[in-house]
Amino acid sequence: MLKSKTFVKKTRSGGVMKVVREHYLRDDIWCGCETCTECKQDSTVLQRDACIESSLCSYPHYLVPDTNVVLHQIDVLEDPVIHNVIILQTVLQEVRHRSAPVYKRLKDIIHEQGRHFYTFTNEHHRYQ
């Protein structure tokens, strides 16, 4: 699916220029969840029984932190108790833009197989 954004921009010389940006949205990006029946995925990253021992939430769940949580609470995310986390691509890009050390720490967590951190490409997903 093609989505395009069109806007008008004023140039330095005082003229007007029309800018068209095309954005392709895909429907074949899988979610990474073991319980999903709609995606056609070979291997999954997120576990079916996604429980973190907590008195706040006793049923299976996934964590989806925003940029501020990642930037200011990276120490909590590094705790081995935290697993089955979905990191959005836009959050990852914003963290990379704001803080290189936090970005490196987050990438190290994502590459640990036992932690079950999954990067979801939400910017290109059709059903965003």
pTM of the model: 0.67
- pLDDT bin (cut points 50, 70, 90) of residue 114 is confident
Residue 125 lies in a domain: no
Residue 128 lies in a domain: no
Map tokens 């895909």 to a residue: 26
Residue 8 lies in a domain: yes
| Segments of 11-106 assigned E as strands | 16-24, 85-88
Residue 73 lies in a domain: yes
Using only the alpha carbons of the chain, give its radius of gyration: 19
CATH of the domain at 85: 3.40.50.1010
Chain segment 21-75, per-residue pLDDT in tens? 776 666 655 666 666 666 666 666 666 665 566 666 676 777 889 999 999 999 9
User: What domain range is 95 assigned to?
Assistant: 2-120
Chain segment 84-97, per-residue pLDDT in tens? 888 988 899 999 99
Residue 14 lies in a domain: yes
Q: How far out from the chain centre does Cα 126 lie?
A: 14
Residue 93 lies in a domain: yes
Map tokens 């940006």 to a residue: 21
E strand or H helix that includes residue 105: helix 100-110
Which DSSP letter does residue 87 get?
E
Number of domains in the chain: 1
Contact 45, 32 (CB under 8 A): yes
Q: Is 9 in a helix, a strand, or coil?
A: strand
Residue 69 lies in a domain: yes
Residue 77 CB partners (closer than 8 Å, separation 6+): 65, 69, 70, 85, 106, 109
Residue 127 lies in a domain: no
In the structure encoding, which two tokens stand for residue 32, read together? 């990474």
